[in-house]
Amino acid sequence: MMNTSGEQAKQQIIYKLNEQITPKELSTVFKNSGIRRPIDDLPRLKRMIENGDLLITARVHDKLVGVARAITDFSYCCYLSDLAVDQQYQKQGIGKELIRLVQEQITDEVTLLLLSSPVAMEYYPRVGFEKVENGYRILRKK
């Protein structure tokens, strides 16, 4: 267990580093968060879990309510691939704490970067991210 928080919330939130989760749990938290991910492709979600470098989970009463999944070299850069919090548990600081815990693992010498969905563009500056304009991408085909 990494940290417990939630004095301001009604329930205790338990955060864990690299906890074993199932593709079904990941699918459910993605679905309940509103994030667009391949929620019906459980084999793909399994690979996403297995091949990430960092997975930080947030649970309330054994229910997975949030996840941060990142890919990093732990030296120079870290890509925050997924930040998802169940909509019923949003606005309690869970996303901000998941980001803080990722930063704690990668240390201050590593840049944390992400791609935001259009609906989350206003969220990230509020939790410490700076918008950048010097990026490029090649979109996946499926």
Examine the pLDDT at 84 and tell me if it is beyond 90: yes
pLDDT at residue number 132: 87
Q: Dmax of the chain from CA atoms?
A: 44
pLDDT at residue number 7: 43
Token pair, residue 46, equals 């399994």
Domain map of the chain by residue range? Answer: 3-126
- 15-41 tens-digit pLDDT: 999 999 999 999 999 999 988 899 999
The architecture of the domain spanning 3-126 is 3-Layer(aba) Sandwich (3.40)
Separation of alpha carbons 7 and 80, rounded Å:
27
**CA distances (Å), 23 to each of 67, 93, 98, 123, in order?**
12, 24, 19, 26
Separation of alpha carbons 19 and 58, rounded Å:
10
Separation of alpha carbons 126 and 28, rounded Å:
26
Separation of alpha carbons 138 and 50, rounded Å:
23
- 131-142 tens-digit pLDDT: 888 888 888 888
Taking the whole predicted model, whether its pTM rises above 0.75 is answered as: yes
Percentage, residues of the chain above pLDDT 70: 93
DSSP string, 63-100: EEEEEEEEEE-SSSEEEEEEEEE-GGGTTSSHHHHHHH
